[in-house]
Structure formats: C-alpha cells, structure tokens
Amino acid sequence: MIKFNWAVLNRYTKSDHEKVFGFFEQITNNRRLSQYATNILNSKSKRDAFLLNNREFVNNSLNGSLYERYNYIYLASKRNLADYVYKGILWLPIELCDIVIENNRLLETIDDKIYFKYEEK
C-alpha cells in the first residue's frame, strides 16, 4: 500500500500525468527518486489517499492510457482510508466522481459504485 496526498502530488508534479504515474512507478519499483518524488515523500502533509495494490497497478496498467491511469489515481484519492481500514471498502461511491469515466479500461461502474481494476485482487 502507498499512502499519498493528492494535493501535494499534483503540486509537485504540476498535474503532469506522466510525472504522477512516474511517482508511483519510482516508489513501487524502488527506482532512483526524481526531485519531485523526493519532495512529495518529504512533505509533512497528511497522507489520507491510498493505492492498495500499487505494484499490480504500476506493472499491469500500461494497457490503459496515461490519462486513464491518472484518473484512476485521482479517483482512488477520493476514497476514505478509514472505510478501507474498518470496513474493507475499496470502491468509490459514484456521487464522488466529478469526471467522465465511461471509457476508462481501468475502472468499472456497477450499482452506483466505481471499482478499481487493480484494487479488488
């Protein structure tokens, strides 16, 4: 599991989709950290967002576009960590979604819930 702060992640990457995904790739695969990744990790901000199966996401999500991967991370950041810790909930209620996700190959919508392809395994 990687915990992160979406606002900090976007600030240091300037919302660059490649850098956002690159941050997770660097952490997951123990790569040399870029300056922006180091800044993100050194931030004292609360890390209340999470990716549970970051290794599977990073290593298997390349079939999704960079835009799809960015939106996957963005929507994952909207989930409540306490919901996962205490209730095991990994999905996101559809009412918290503020972007179009119809054609995102990494997300699935069922019964007003958004499921993350690499989180449910």
User: In this predicted model, what pLDDT tens digit does every residue of 59-85 receive, in sequence order?
Assistant: 999 889 999 999 999 999 999 999 999
Residue 121 lies in a domain: no
CA distance linking residue 91 with residue 106, whole number of Å: 13
**Per-residue confidence band for 117, with pLDDT thresholds at 50, 70 and 90:** very high
Q: How far is the C-alpha of 92 from the C-alpha of 97, rounded, in Å?
A: 8
Q: Is 109 exposed, middle or buried (0-12, 13-18, 19+ CB in 10 A)?
A: middle
Over the stretch 28-60, which tens digit does the pLDDT of each residue have?
A: 999 899 999 999 999 888 888 999 999 999 999
pTM given for the model: 0.93
Dist. CA 8–CA 112, nearest whole Å: 29
Residue 76 lies in a domain: yes
pLDDT of residue 121: 56
- The count of structural domains within the chain is 1
Q: Rounded CA gap, 77 and 51, in Å?
A: 8
